[in-house]
Structure 1
Amino acid sequence: MTTIKDLAGIVGVSHSTVARALNDHPAITPAVKARVRAAAEAHGYIANAAARALRVQSGALVGFVVPDIEENDMAAMAKAIAECVNATGRQLVVSCSGDAPERELAHVRALVGARAAALVLMPSERPLPETIALLSRLPTVQLVRQVEALAAEAFVFDDEAAIHEATAHLIGLGHRRIGYVGGSETVSTGASRLAGYRRALREAGLAEDPALVSTVPPHGPAAFGAFRRLVEATRPSGIVLGGPRITLGAAEAVGELRLRVPEELSLVGFGDRAWMRWWGPGLTTVALPARELALACGGHLVDLLRAAPRQEQAGAQAATLLRRGSTAPPPGGAMMRKRRRNLSEK
């Protein structure tokens, strides 16, 4: 890690001059400030208020950087990883990037500056080059998502197999016009889940209809609109959903459209929230082993911190399809024709 002493030697000034230059002291000339800041940037010097506030002692912290913590799965994962980290006498620091690469960089920079011992990351779609460079300085493990540019092992769900099973379930009930609403293909989870949907269709000898597929940012409002447009434009008999928030947005759209599930539309969700058990007839959904995945990740992280032989190996955890009342054989032609007339009149 580059220090103020290192910068002083590089620029050829005193330690105090470097410190004052970095703090924009008026006694330091603009030319010297520019030289010091250029050297700091070139050599990766980190000093900011967040890092100073976090710094307890070198190696006492482990970072957990995720898009948000609102999802129940993320909270469960944070708790499980904290249990593993606490067993080593360290503390887990949770930071939310909002899936913004710039905010992700700020959190990583602060953790590196705080001399964090390691970091668990659910990466954004495209981490900035500086983020990737900083992560090379400390042990890092990717969780749920993975980015090839990061030289860090990944603990993920078997997303492709999960959506493949969900789609095959509808096919087995007799559905042939099956829609899919999922996250963007530019994120590893979104790409894998869409691949599972496509593989199930292909194995059943069904041609994919692009009009039946919608990929959106994994947020409720976007999912609400995408689900409604897909239903009104294509009239599928069943829909597979590719994310927890997407499932929530779709459930809200079902209520607004007054669709009868499963009489008019079969629905398979993603994740297993408490509300899904009593929503309508009960939502058939893909349940994720969130705690198990996080414990495996945390155990691997502890092995890295202790420089011990690895007990936990990176890989994909299988999900489980929970069959409830929201899926059934497709409706008859008369019912669908009546429903189509009703939708067109709204």
Structure 2
Amino acid sequence: MGRRRQAVTIKHVAADAGVSLQTVSRVINNEPGVRPEMKQRVQEAIDRLHYVPSIAAQRMSGSRSYLILALNDRDRTIADWRSREGVDWVDQMLLGGMTTAAAAGYRLMLELVDTHSDHVERELRSTIAALQPDGVILTPPHSDNPLITSLLAEQKISFARIGSRETDVGLSLLMDEEGAAAMATRHLLGLGHRRIAFIAGSPEYSLSGWRVEGWRKAMAEAGVGDGELLAEGDFSYASGERAAEALLALANQPTAIIASSDQMTLATMAVAKRRGITVPDQLSLISFDNTPLVRFVQPPLTAIDQPIAELAAKAVELIVIDQRNALHPEAPYVLEAGLVVRGSTQPPAGA
């Protein structure tokens, strides 16, 4: 076996650049007060020697860990991975979070936590003690869990709350869920639909209620009642089947359905097929999520495109800025969604 190559240390960088260890440390940690020419000299030495800062050494010295921890719902994430049905929420979050973190010299790590557990606080304390993150990204439903947000505030850890409107602690970011649902509804109204149903997501997610509000608001603006056209789901395929069966069993069937996840929309498409209802000739469909799978079904699904990667990138950006908990925005950061029109929507029959 060959001998293991000796690791390049901060001492090697300092010697190569002809500066002190303190100067190299200040450049690595991006601290103020370093002259541009000195910073360039150190950076050239780092590049020349292929030096990578040691997280362990940084922690031992009491400086930042350069680690950001993203918390996602354990049960739902594992269920999505096991189902292999094209869900890419986590993928998009990691895309936006990891690339932005890397550009700032940080690393992003995903941790799965059960927000329903009575031991969530103890579990999170243990995770924080082991990893010592500089910041934490919370995703729904963790974003509005007071046990989690209070603990992070107590620990004085910068944290971003994706999908939350609360601004009491942490940094809140969200997609305009209400506006997205209204956009989808107005698209269908513009095609001539009036019987537009909505399948809501899990009630434990605040965004589910916001989407319902957007749908109702757009329907009311058009002078169209929603009455019996709301069905409850929980984002899963099975719940979409139940909701679609109920809606398509109505004496006066909807001519269009908006579902709050791709899985529920695909389930609705399957139920319609079993009932001999063709999409989009007899039923138009719009989905949320816009995961890869919706492009390959027939017809391809019109979908709300959520800016998940952009939300995660913005969360990382804010955490990097907020190392001393100095940011106290009065309102959440809001990113707009898009609507990707495909073959699952068209004017209702006879319009």
Q: Is the pair's TM-score, using the shorter chain for normalization, greater than 0.5?
A: yes
Amino acid at match of 2:296: W
Give yes or no for contact 2:258–2:265 (8 Å, CA) kept in 1. Answer: no
> 1:104, CA displacement in angstroms?
4.6
> 1:297, CA displacement in angstroms?
1.6
Q: Distance in 2 between matches of 1:141 and 1:117?
A: 12
Q: Distance in 2 between matches of 1:249 and 1:243?
A: 10
Q: Which of these residues, 153, 157, 161, is aligned with residue 142 of structure 1? A: 161
Give yes or no for contact 1:154–1:315 (8 Å, CA) kept in 2. Answer: yes
Q: Distance in 2 between matches of 1:76 and 1:128?
A: 23
Deviations 1:69-114, CA, capped at 9 Å, x for gaps: 4431321212321223334444322122355354753552233223
Q: Distance in 2 between matches of 1:199 and 1:87?
A: 41
> 1:157, CA displacement in angstroms?
0.7
How many positions carry a matched residue from both structures? 277
Q: Distance in 2 between matches of 1:131 and 1:307?
A: 17
Q: Distance in 2 between matches of 1:80 and 1:93?
A: 13
Q: Which of these residues, 62, 75, 93, is aligned with residue 109 of structure 2? A: 93
> 1:244, CA displacement in angstroms?
3.2
Give yes or no for contact 2:143–2:149 (8 Å, CA) kept in 1. Answer: no
Match status 1:183 vs 2:201: yes
Q: Which of these residues, 125, 128, 133, is aligned with residue 109 of structure 1? A: 125
Within a 5 Å distance, the mapping from 1:182-201 to structure 2 comes to 182-201=200-219
Match status 1:76 vs 2:92: yes
> 1:185, CA displacement in angstroms?
4.3
Q: Distance in 1 between matches of 2:269 and 2:120?
A: 31
Other-structure match for 2:38: none
Amino acid at match of 1:112: I
Paired-residue identity, %: 25
For the aligned residues, what is the CA RMSD? 3.1
Q: CA, structure 1 residues 77+173, in 2 after alignment: closer, same or farther (shift >3 Å)?
A: same
> 1:306, CA displacement in angstroms?
7.3
Deviations 1:141-179, CA, capped at 9 Å, x for gaps: 011x21638612211111111110111111111111111
Match status 1:172 vs 2:187: no
Other-structure match for 2:237: 220
> 1:203, CA displacement in angstroms?
0.5
Q: Distance in 1 between matches of 2:267 and 2:122?
A: 30
Other-structure match for 1:231: 248
Other-structure match for 1:4: none
Give yes or no for contact 1:158–1:319 (8 Å, CA) kept in 2. Answer: yes
> 1:190, CA displacement in angstroms?
0.6
User: Bigger relative contact order, structure 1 or 2, given CA contacts below 8 A and separation 6+?
Assistant: 2
Within a 5 Å distance, the mapping from 1:17-166 to structure 2 comes to 57=59, 59-60=64-65, 61-67=67-73, 68-69=76-77, 70=80, 71-97=87-113, 100-102=116-118, 104-114=120-130, 115-124=132-141, 129-136=146-153, 137=155, 138-143=157-162, 145-146=163-164, 148=166, 151-166=169-184
Q: Distance in 2 between matches of 1:105 and 1:205?
A: 47
Gaps of 5+ in 2: 1-55, 81-86
Q: CA, structure 1 residues 326+99, in 2 after alignment: closer, same or farther (shift >3 Å)?
A: farther
Give yes or no for contact 1:170–1:238 (8 Å, CA) kept in 2. Answer: yes
Match status 1:284 vs 2:290: no
> 1:318, CA displacement in angstroms?
1.0
Q: CA, structure 1 residues 240+309, in 2 after alignment: closer, same or farther (shift >3 Å)?
A: closer
Match status 1:303 vs 2:321: yes
Secondary structure of 2:310's aligned partner: helix
Give yes or no for contact 2:196–2:226 (8 Å, CA) kept in 1. Answer: no
Amino acid at match of 1:223: G
Q: CA, structure 1 residues 229+180, in 2 after alignment: closer, same or farther (shift >3 Å)?
A: same
TM-score by length of 2: 0.70
Other-structure match for 1:339: none
Q: Distance in 2 between matches of 1:298 and 1:126?
A: 15
Give yes or no for contact 2:181–2:214 (8 Å, CA) kept in 1. Answer: yes
Amino acid at match of 1:316: V
